[in-house]
């Protein structure tokens, strides 16, 4: 019988540490609910001691989720552990995850602690966390660069103190697969009481080997994989959940393991993470990239038409990618929209449905067919947005080869209408200049990205911007069949988020 690999998702914690990927509580709640639908075993919901906002989000998630384990990260500090416990205690299944570095480099340069002090701190932290819950995980930060025997000594002491999961991280993505597998085997062979705990691995992708290292570790005996959706995370990111799960699913002859993941929810979850964070999935990304099931070469197209398995080792439907995304049109009613949104993972309240239905009808009048991606965008715009201080009422832009680009804009600022016009290097630049002038903001545009949600000339344009003002950074997102309007919406959304962060400083991560 196949052994189970526990899937520990840290998209809401490590993944959120991607530059520009910060989420508000409502967005985290939406994503956490989708994680439960996906079938994740453990959800690391955040680092409660990092900020008041992180504490609030973890606490609200713990109150809502019923099946999966909700985990809070903590340093080996009593105050951290208290905050982690108070955040996750509402969950029927909770976990405290404590960590401390064990490499000589980190101990000497970062912690300024001796080996004996680190060992003592690890033991005391696990014991203290154990006083709150029986489900305690211990991590040795920078484990792949630690002295093996010392790390095994710390692991043995942590298990003796009550840790039920031991995590071996490749924190800086330094290992290669054969080396990491050998390290896993060494830990299993030189930690006398390791059989009393689950051995976990947490790999980063600095050398592009996170998934390979994780799979090698599982083959060597690890039974928990710490992952993120789309592989997002600090620097080059983390191990990609979809890659690990589908490798196990597709190659059972080589990996005789199972997971609890509902694979049909992989693509919807990937898309939700992308729309919430504004981090687009590269087209050639394995499993969930736009080109993952696309075939352009004639010989490939012929083979796929004869038998998809000639060039596809997975069926698109397995990850929830429906080849026929045509769903709704302008004659579709409220009930049909509500039911379809529920199938997509959005169970909206009557008030939320009213907002989305109005936007759906407006879009359907302008676009012949409304796709799933369009509906996701409507939900994002209508339900998941920060409260609007600035709101776009009217936009007119003109440009061409013989005219100076100009934009006229009407906004409401706290329900007060304002209007103006500005020139720019292009129509989008002109619109941004006018919006900045009307709002009196001085934000710096750090990133500007345009993509099409679907195919066809009537596709909605999706624009994401990253803005910085007075040390605060916010992501803005907008969609519209008109790319200039989508850009204006994204810019205004980013400005609203900046205003929200100014008013709620506790939402800024420490």
Check whether 346 has a pLDDT greater than 60: yes
pLDDT at 110: 95
**Three-state DSSP class for 263?**
helix
**Mean pLDDT in the chain?**
88
Name the more confident of 318 and 223: 223
Crossing angle of helices 334-343 and 372-382, in 10° steps, is 100
- Over residues 102-119, the pLDDT tens digits come to 999 999 999 999 999 999
Q: What's the rounded mean pLDDT across residues 230-253?
A: 95
Contact 88, 65 (CB under 8 A): no
**Count of CB atoms within 10 A of residue 358's CB?**
12
Pairing of strands 416-423, 406-413: antiparallel
pLDDT at 1: 60
pLDDT at 301: 42
Cα 26 to Cα 36: distance, rounded to the nearest angstrom: 16
pLDDT at 387: 66
Cα 364 to Cα 358: distance, rounded to the nearest angstrom: 10
Q: Out of 247-256, 434-443, 450-459, which region has the weakest mean confidence (pLDDT)?
A: 450-459
Instruction: Report which listed range, 14-18, 31-35, 96-100, is most confident.
Output: 96-100
Reported as a pLDDT band with limits 50, 70 and 90, residue 297 is: very low
Percent of the chain exceeding pLDDT 90 equals 63
Task: Look at the domain 3-277 and name its fold.
Answer: TIM Barrel (3.20.20)
Check whether 77 has a pLDDT greater than 50: yes
**Pick from 137, 138, 148: which is nearest to 103 by CA?**
148
Q: What tokens appear for 301 in the block?
A: 């197209």
Which sign, positive or negative, has the C-alpha torsion 220, 223, 229, 232? negative
Check whether 382 has a pLDDT greater than 80: no
- Over residues 460-494, the pLDDT tens digits come to 888 989 899 988 888 888 888 899 999 999 999 89
- Map out the domains of the chain as residue ranges: 3-277, 293-321, 326-382, 390-507
CATH number for the domain formed by residue range(s) 390-507: 3.30.160.270
Check whether 397 has a pLDDT greater than 90: yes
């Amino acid at each position: 019988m196949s052994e189970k690999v526990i899937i520990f998702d840290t998209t809401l914690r490590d993944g959120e540490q991607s530059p520009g990927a910060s989420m508000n509580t409502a967005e985290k709640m939406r994503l956490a609910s989708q994680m439960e639908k996906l079938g994740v075993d453990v959800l690391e919901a955040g680092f409660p001691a990092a900020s008041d906002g992180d504490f609030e989000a973890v606490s609200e998630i713990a109150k809502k989720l019923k099946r999966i384990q909700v985990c809070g990260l903590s340093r080996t500090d009593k105050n951290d552990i208290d905050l982690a416990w108070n955040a996750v205690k509402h969950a029927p299944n909770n976990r405290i995850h404590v960590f401390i570095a064990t490499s000589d480099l980190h101990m000497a340069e970062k912690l300024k602690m001796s080996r004996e002090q680190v060992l003592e701190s690890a033991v005391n932290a696990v014991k203290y966390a154990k006083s709150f819950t029986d489900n305690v995980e211990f991590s040795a930060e920078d484990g792949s660069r630690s002295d093996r025997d010392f790390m095994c000594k710390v692991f043995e002491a942590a298990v003796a103190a009550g840790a039920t999961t031991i995590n071996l991280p490749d924190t800086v993505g330094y290992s290669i697969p054969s080396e990491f597998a050998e390290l896993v085997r060494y830990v299993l062979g030189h930690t006398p009481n390791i059989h009393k705990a689950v051995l976990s691995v947490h790999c980063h992708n600095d050398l592009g080997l996170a998934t390979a290292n994780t799979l090698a570790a599982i083959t060597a005996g690890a039974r928990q994989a710490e992952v993120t959706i789309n592989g997002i995370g600090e620097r080059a990111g983390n191990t990609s959940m979809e890659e690990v799960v589908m490798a196990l699913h597709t190659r059972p002859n080589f990996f005789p393991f199972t997971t609890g993941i509902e694979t049909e929810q992989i693509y919807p979850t990937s898309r939700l993470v992308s729309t919430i964070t504004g981090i687009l999935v590269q087209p050639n990304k394995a499993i969930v990239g736009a080109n993952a099931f696309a075939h352009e070469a004639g010989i490939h197209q012929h083979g796929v038409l004869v038998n998809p398995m000639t060039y596809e080792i997975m069926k698109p439907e397995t990850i929830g990618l429906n080849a026929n995304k045509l769903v709704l049109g302008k004659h579709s009613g409220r009930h049909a929209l509500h039911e379809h949104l529920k199938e997509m993972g959005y169970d909206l309240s009557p008030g939320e449905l009213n907002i989305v239905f109005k936007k759906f009808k407006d879009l359907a009048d302008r676009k012949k067919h409304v796709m799933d991606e369009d509906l996701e965008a409507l939900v994002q715009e209508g339900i998941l947005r920060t409260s609007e201080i600035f709101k776009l009422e009217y936009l007119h832009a003109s440009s061409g080869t013989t005219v100076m680009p100009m934009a006229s804009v009407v906004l409401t600022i706290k329900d007060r209408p304002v209007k103006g016009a500005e020139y720019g290097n292009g129509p989008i630049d002109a619109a941004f200049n006018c919006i900045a002038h009307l709002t009196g903001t001085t934000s710096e545009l750090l990133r500007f990205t345009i993509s099409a949600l679907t195919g066809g000339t009537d596709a909605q344009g999706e624009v994401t911007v990253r803005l910085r003002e007075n040390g605060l950074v916010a992501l803005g997102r907008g969609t519209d069949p008109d790319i200039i309007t989508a850009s204006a919406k994204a810019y205004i959304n980013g400005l609203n988020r900046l205003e929200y962060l100014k008013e709620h400083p506790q939402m800024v991560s420490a």
